[in-house]
Amino acid sequence: MTCTIYLLLSRRETTRTGVNDMGSPRVTMVLMAATSVLSAAALLAGCSGSSPAPPKPVRDLPAKQIVAKALALARSAGSMSFYQYEGTVSSSSALVVVAGDALSATGRQVAKGDNGAVMTELVLKGATYVRGNAAALTGFLGMPARKASRFVNRWLVLHAGDPNYQQITQGVTGDSVLSSITPAGALTKGKKLQKIGSQSVVAVSGLAPAGSGMAAGSTDTLWVAATGKPLPVAAEEVSKSGGDSELVFTRSSWGKKVTGVTAPAGAVPYPAG
């Protein structure tokens, strides 16, 4: 590193009568000049040191470090938005599309199925609220048709400890989303960079984590931005039977304001059984 310091000093030659007159303008200016020269020397000494080595590009990091760095940045962003597509590898279109906004411990999702099912889900601290049409209640939640007919488009509430609470709540909050896309087991890094849209990404693959809802032995690939901030860009989980879940973030996903995650009025308890 090269440093240049310009030191500008003024000098006054005004003299006063008297010996050892430390208050004279001449003596004062000499002392100021000496102090300035010493300060400049200290600055130059600091400039002569070597610059710290620049951080390695994310693509050059080991697979575990790439995942850890991406997840740490994602959590520090505070909020996220994403789209999730669920279907089968052989299908030409997704069976379910989910649009989600999430903070670390709360979140909102709207899920739409190709059969016309529509369900909204809100997760707050200690409570989860769901509302859906008949197709959503029977298809997404597994309610018998007769029971579902009594709760169509009504807010239902579940609390921690209720049956089905954990299953219905998972994958909605920010922490849950990130946990569900974190590859587990032995990790491998893609040999070459790939492109998702216009974004260069590096892939890290492993097993789908236990909290993902996928069958044991399913694979999980996380794509991390190779340029700019190394945030998650997409994740895909594939089961041995061909089931597929893909989650996609956008560059504007991170740190945006999330509103509307409040308890709805008039919610009734989620029906047991």
Instruction: Tell me if 46 sits within 8 A of 28, measured CB to CB.
Output: no
Asked if 95 and 87 touch (Cβ cutoff 8 Å), the reply is yes
Please give the pLDDT value at position 164. Answer: 87
Q: What is the pLDDT of residue 37?
A: 46
Backbone angles phi, psi at 86, to 5 degrees: -125, 135
State what percent of residues in the chain have pLDDT above 90.
63
Q: Contacts for 52-60 with beta carbons within 8 Å, 24 or more apart?
A: 57/226, 58/202, 58/224, 58/225, 58/226, 58/230, 59/193, 59/202, 59/226
In sequence order, what are the beta bridge partners of 101?
Answer: 81, 108
- Topology adopted by domain 58-269: outer membrane lipoprotein receptor (LolB), chain A (2.50.20)
pLDDT for residue 216? 84
Residue 249: strand pairing partners = 82
Average pLDDT estimate for 8-24: 45
CB 223 within 8 A of CB 232: yes
How confident is residue 47, by pLDDT bands cut at 50, 70 and 90?
low
Residues ≥6 apart with Cβ < 8 Å to 168: 121, 128, 130, 141, 158
| Cβ 70 vs Cβ 183: under 8 Å | no
More confident of the two residues 17 and 141: 141
Residue span(s) of the chain under CATH 2.50.20.20 come to: 58-269
pLDDT at site 19:
45
The answer to whether the Cα torsion of 180, 182, 185, 188 is positive or negative is: positive
The rounded distance, in Å, linking the Cα atoms of 21 and 24 is 6
